[in-house]
Amino acid sequence: MENIEAHLAKLKAELDQARQSGDTAKINHLEGELKDLETYQQHHPGEQKDPSPLEVYCDLNPQAPECLVYDD
pLDDT at residue 19 tops 90: yes
Q: What is the pLDDT of residues 21-47, one digit of tens each?
A: 999 999 999 999 999 999 999 999 988
Contacts of 5 (CB under 8 A, 6+ apart): 48
Compute CA distances 71 → 50, 62, 68, whole Å: 27, 16, 10
Confidence of residue 1 (pLDDT cuts 50, 70, 90): low
Helix (H, G, I), strand (E, B) or coil at 3: strand
The overall average pLDDT reported for the chain is 92
Q: Where are the chain's structural domains?
A: 4-67
Tell me the whole-structure pTM to 2 decimals: 0.83
